[in-house]
Amino acid sequence: MFRIFKDKMLGKNSSTNQNYKLSKSIDKNIALFKEIFKEDETIIYRNFESKSKDSIKFCIIFDKNLSKMSSINDYVIKPITRKEFPNDMSAKKRIELLMSKILITCDNKLSSNTNDLISHILYGDSILLIDGVDQAIQICTKEWHQRAIDEPQAERAIRGPKEGFIESIDVNYTLIRRKIRSPNLKFIFKEVGDKTKTRICICYIDSLASEKVLKELYKRLDEIDIDGVLESGYIEELIKDSPLSPFKTIGNTERPDTVCAKILEGRIALIVDGTPNVLTLPYIFLEYFQVSEDYYTNFFYSSVNRALKYLGFFISTSIPAIYVALTTFHQEMIPTPLLLSISASREGVPFPTIVEALFMLLSFEILREGGIRLPSTVGSAISFVGAVILGEAAVSARFVSAPIVIIVALTGISNFLLPKMLGALILIRIIFLILSAFLGLYGYIFGVIGLFIHLFSMRSFGYPYMLNIDLLDDEEIKDTVIRAPWWLMHFRTRLIGSKNKERQKDYTISRRE
């Protein structure tokens, strides 16, 4: 069942959700907006009149910090105050004259919906009220400061584009449009959040994206009932499949080239205003191990890097559990010289191996999290020095043995190969470790079997999470554990249609809890 979130205390009965009707009296309309924006000193009400003998009253309403005042002065107020309107002109003709010949702004729209008008004012646009007309003109005058386009800090690349998304939805979809200059590239805008009215943009290529996935996405977005959306993570959590799983079923990235590559594969991008993290869906397990730089460098080097990521996944999740299982239950499987060395290092240590491992893993995670939250100039140094000092002091004090420090260090370094899977890696590692502490290698094997069952049972908008792993063919294996050269890859994945009709798949779209 798809969960619906809402504010139970406030509900939906606030004044901003009531759709008031505009009057033909400009004074009543101004009083209405002053009541709505009561005690808000950022909203400006500029009254002026036309040049004609029986002058017509106008009022433009805008937020002084979000709108460009020079545009309002030059393109709205000046042209109107210099224009003479015939006395016998009807309200309809007056509006047509304003829209077609007087207002010289790029985007104007007539509206009588007060909720829509309020939303535009709070987003930087202006609304023009006219005496004798029960409608208002929305005028595009927005202007606000925004961060410059820069390389994403979390997804740096040695080779490839250095630009990243920013917090402006208009800039972000422009970065995608610049790379995919196709009329089939569609941008559909919606609003989510009862109070924040956050703009979102659904981006896809019409000839490639699955219609079933699009319909399911619209359905899930329409079912969202929440007061505010401040980051794409809100939407990701509300519409994702398998919400209790530590694995992502919706991807996110700050790189426009990555989003464009996924769109060209038939996926759908979801841009949220106010955040540089763009969502992509469907999302499958293999995407954890793929980065955009794989396709910009030599395929031999990319394949080696991808294989290292799979090795890092194994080391990060399994090495502590295997070490605990071998030293606790299966000492006969360890070579004698190595067993003697481990036994000598554990002499005087009062805790069992499982306690050592949990203590050191917890200490490493505390140092890692502390290093992230500290300023970048000192965070990395403190993390490194803290890890060295803590490990050396713990071994010297006989709290832990030296081998467990090596195991935890290797595990922690392997985490950095898969930064987007960090939460899942920590949880799987702890589960495997506890199972191994009670059942040895049998517990570890049971954990691996459970992990595989969980992964193979997951879906992302109807598509198998382990797509291209469960049923490999000669085409799909070219971009899985290895990255084949471009001149060998001729087809898209089974995620969308391909040139070969026999390879097309039609999956059932269903919500998986």
What was the pLDDT predicted at 445?
93
Enter the DSSP assignment of 148.
P
pLDDT at position 434: 92
pLDDT in tens, 414-461: 888 888 888 899 999 999 999 999 998 999 999 999 999 999 988 888
Residue with tokens 């935890």: 408
Q: What H or E segment, with its residue span, contains residue 281?
A: strand 278-281
Query: Which amino acid type is present at position 105?
Result: T
d(CA 469, CA 247): 16
- Complete DSSP assignment for 347-399: TT--S-HHHHHHHHHHHHHHHHHHHHHS-HHHHHHHHHHHHHHHHHHHHHTTS
Q: What is the pTM of this model?
A: 0.80
Residue with tokens 């420090």: 405
What Cα–Cα distance (Å) separates residue 192 from each residue in 56, 90, 168, 227, 251?
38, 38, 16, 9, 20
Strands 57-63 and 43-49: antiparallel
Segments making up each domain of the chain, as ranges: 15-139, 169-295, 299-457
Show the DSSP H helices in 227-375 as ranges. 232-239, 256-264, 299-328, 336-345, 353-373
Cis omega before residue 337 (within 30°)? no
Give the relative orientation of helices 422-439 and 299-328 as an angle to the nearest 10 degrees.
30
Strands, E, within 79-123: which ranges? 108-111
Q: Please give the pLDDT value at position 6.
A: 46
Quick: pLDDT tens for 69-100: 888 888 888 888 887 777 667 777 778 778 77
Structural contact between residues 128 and 120, judged by C-beta atoms closer than 8 angstroms: no
Here the tokens at position 294 are 């794989």
Residue 172: name the closest of 153, 194, 199 by CA: 199
pLDDT of res. 490:
67
Among positive and negative, which fits the CA dihedral 94, 96, 100, 105?
positive
pLDDT attached to residue 53: 66
Q: What's the confidence (pLDDT) of residue 93?
A: 77
In which residue ranges of the chain is pLDDT below 70? 1-19, 52-54, 87-88, 374-389, 470-476, 490-513
